[in-house]
Amino acid sequence: MNETTVFEPCDLVIFGALGDLSRRKLLISLYRLEKANLLEADTRIIGIDRHEGDNSGFIEIIHESLQEFLSEVIDEQVWARFSARLAYLKIDLTQMDQYPLLNTVVDGQSRVMVNYFAVAPSLFTNICQGLDKCGVLNGKSRMVMEKPIGHDLQSSKAINDAVAEVFNEKQVYRIDHYLGKETVLNLLALRFANAIFTTNWDHNTIDHVQITVAEEVGIEGRWDYFDKTGQLRDMLQNHLLQILTFVAMEPPVNLEAQSIHNEKIKVLAALRPITQENAGLKTVRGLYSAGAIKGKPVPGYLEELGANTESTTESFVALKAAIDNWRWAGVPFYLRTGKRMAYKRTEIVIKFKRLPHNIFKESFDELPSNKLIIHLQPNEGIEIQMLNKIPGIDENIKLQKTKLDLSFSDTFKNSKIFGGYEKLVLEAMRGNPTLFLSREEIEQAWTWVDSIQDAWAHIDSAPEPYPAGTWGPEAADELIARDGRVWEE
Ligand code: BG6
């Protein structure tokens, strides 16, 4: 925990409180924190949006959102406590003269004000200026911003510059909700608290790494956003690269935010740029056509509601990344992510090298190599695939592939596993920046992703179709097969 950590009640001010992100994720997470008694007694949640309304109307909308998006029945006692924290204020965020209204509901000078920007990035500058001008901020105020922070390096810098005019870097909390997921955090423990993985974690023992983030969902009514963004920017630039940094970074000296950021930045800076010359071999873009998910027919990307039928935006990406440093020289990282894939699955597979000599030819012509599989979601857990002797008194020793299986829900029966948002919103309110992204990290990630976007812009190819409900286009299998490997299913 950071030494500057402050545990004080705060005013959590959500800009865009009636929007999708706020209703689907933030307020649901806050309700769950309430249920777990993790909100400070005096903490308040203030919703800001441009629609007419008052406190009671807002409370009613949030109750409806909970009914719609919460996976369990609303607990009326918890709701009574939670709804008492809620307040609403109508502000058109583009109108500077409306921001002083904030002073009627927030006491920014004597309480900690946590400003959550749950709006499109085009409004970030307005909000920063509005907050600054109305005098509601002080040195203890924070701002939390959601991705996408820009759509390339240049636009990301512009946003970060505008934010820096008002907030210093220590006040800025950039969220990637994957960093709040239990299994991503557990990578720190797995790697840096277990001797077997501190020593066997480099090019000497690891053959390659696979990171898969497969989604069942399609565009979910977010056509406007997604079609301008694509899966590379929506998922790979942030979530997959963050997972990659946790797998690949050097041991940080401690768990302070700065120590972790330093190590992650080094990994991102060592990613070898993709070029026009090799993009065709190292990357695959896909676009889903009509198909079925778990037996239910779903439309193709170009047939979604409001679709631009000329679109060439990718809903799937697979690529082969190289990290040019001492530890990972020669170890490919295969990344893939797509919408409308066979089922939701996020996992990391660490495939170890084959042993140099096989003394068990009776069982295997070639000894299968060990695999460490980290299941991020669903069913969080860790699995190690290894070879074991089949018990018996046969003359020859016979081996069988077996697995050591650590399921989080079975092992930690008494611990509740929270979602990424719950963890991160709580940390932002507590003032602990460890799990948030630094400006430099985001800009390094964009530098590499820009190399891919530039290469794609110069090669004349469209995304390859794949039927919804499958594992992506055949070209993704070919990408890894060229190296004599296969995606782990
Ligand atoms: C978001 C993306 O950041 O992550 C969405 O914008 C995506 O497109 C979502 O569906 C996936 O999150 P999770 O936690 O469901 O894997």
Tell me whether strands 44-49 and 10-15 are parallel, antiparallel or unpaired: parallel
Which residue has the least CA distance to atom 8 on ligand 1?
A: 234
Residue % of the chain over a pLDDT of 70: 99
What confidence score (pLDDT) does residue 272 get? 98
Q: Which atom of ligand 1 is nearest to the CA of 377?
A: 16
| Confidence tier at 246 by pLDDT (50, 70, 90) | very high
Residue % of the chain over a pLDDT of 90: 81
The tokens for 356 are: 């140099």
Rounded-to-integer distance, Cα 409 and Cα 412, Å: 6
375 counts as catalytic:
no
Whole-number average pLDDT of the chain = 93
Sign of torsion, CA 251 254 260 263?
negative
Q: Which atom of ligand 1 is nearest to the CA of 226?
A: 8
The predicted-structure confidence for 252-307, as pLDDT tens digits, reads as follows: 999 999 999 999 999 999 999 999 999 999 999 999 999 999 899 999 999 887 77
What pTM was computed for the model?
0.92
| Confidence tier at 2 by pLDDT (50, 70, 90) | very low
| Confidence tier at 416 by pLDDT (50, 70, 90) | confident
- 215, 293, 313, best to mutate for ligand 1 pocket (most atoms within 8 Å of CB): 215
Torsion of Cα atoms, 45 then 47 then 52 then 56, to 10°:
-20
What confidence score (pLDDT) does residue 4 get? 41
- 149, 177, 228, best to mutate for ligand 1 pocket (most atoms within 8 Å of CB): 177
Name the residue type at position 209: V
Range 424-441 average pLDDT: 94
Q: Cα dist. 463→159, 232, 288, 373, 469 in Å? A: 30, 12, 9, 29, 17
Which residue has the least CA distance to atom 9 on ligand 1?
A: 235
Range 197-226 average pLDDT: 92
- 234, 240, 341, best to mutate for ligand 1 pocket (most atoms within 8 Å of CB): 234
Q: Which atom of ligand 1 is nearest to the CA of 178?
A: 14
Range 229-253 average pLDDT: 97
Instruction: Determine the distance separating the centroid of ligand 1 and the alpha carbon of 177, expressed in angstroms.
Output: 8
Range 193-215 average pLDDT: 95
Instruction: Determine the distance separating the centroid of ligand 1 and the alpha carbon of 389, expressed in angstroms.
Output: 42
What confidence score (pLDDT) does residue 489 get? 81
Rounded-to-integer distance, Cα 345 and Cα 468, Å: 15
What confidence score (pLDDT) does residue 300 get? 94
Range 405-419 average pLDDT: 83
Q: Which atom of ligand 1 is nearest to the CA of 222?
A: 8
Rounded-to-integer distance, Cα 95 and Cα 153, Å: 28
Rounded-to-integer distance, Cα 372 and Cα 187, Å: 12
Which residue has the least CA distance to atom 6 on ligand 1?
A: 234
Q: In the structure, which protein residues have their CB atom closer than 6 angstroms to any atom of ligand 1? A: 177, 215, 217, 234
Window from 17-31, 351-365, 407-421 with minimum mean pLDDT: 407-421
Range 176-200 average pLDDT: 91
For the chain, list the domains and their CATH numbers: 10-146 (3.40.50.720), 179-418+438-481 (3.30.360.10)
Q: Which atom of ligand 1 is nearest to the CA of 213?
A: 16
Range 65-72 average pLDDT: 92
What confidence score (pLDDT) does residue 279 get? 96
Angle of the 27-35 helix axis to the 76-83 helix axis, nearest 10: 120
Instruction: Determine the distance separating the centroid of ligand 1 and the alpha carbon of 339, expressed in angstroms.
Output: 10
Which one of the listed residues 177, 239, 261, 375 is annotated catalytic? 239
- Please choose, from the candidates 283, 334, 287, the residue with its C-alpha nearest in 3D space to the C-alpha of residue 458: 283
The tokens for 139 are: 């040195």
The predicted-structure confidence for 455-464, as pLDDT tens digits, reads as follows: 999 987 889 9
Q: Phi and psi for 123 in degrees, rounded to 5? A: -95, -5
Q: Which residues are within 8 A (CB) of 4 and not within 5 positions of it... i.e. 6 or more apart?
A: 170, 431
Cis ω before 148 (30° cut-off from 0): yes
Indicate if the pLDDT at residue 6 is higher than 60: no
Instruction: Determine the distance separating the centroid of ligand 1 and the alpha carbon of 302, expressed in angstroms.
Output: 20
Instruction: Determine the distance separating the centroid of ligand 1 and the alpha carbon of 447, expressed in angstroms.
Output: 22
What confidence score (pLDDT) does residue 7 get? 67
Q: Phi and psi for 166 in degrees, rounded to 5? A: -115, -40
SS (H, E, C) the chain: CCCCCCCCCEEEEEECCCCHHHHHHHHHHHHHHHHCCCCCCCCEEEEEECCCCCHHHHHHHHHHHHHHHCCCCCCHHHHHHHHCCEEEEECCCCCHHHHHHHHHCCCCCCCEEEEEECCCHHHHHHHHHHHHHCCCCCCCCEEEECCCCCCCHHHHHHHHHHHHCCCCHHHEEECCHHHHCHHHHHHHHHHHCCHHHHHCCCCCCEEEEEEEEECCCCCCCCHHHHHHHHHHHHHHHHHHHHHHHHHHCCCCCCCCHHHHHHHHHHHHHCECCCCCCCHHHHEEEEEEECEEECCEEECCHHHCCCCCCCCCCCCEEEEEECECCCCCCCCCEEEEEECCECCCEEEEEEEECCCCCCCCCCCCCCCCCCEEEEEEECCCEEEEEEEEECCCCCCCCCEEEEEEEEEHHHHCCCCCCCCHHHHHHHHHHHCCCCCCECHHHHHHHHHHHHHHHHHHHHCCCCCEEEECCECCCHHHHHHHHCCCCCCCC
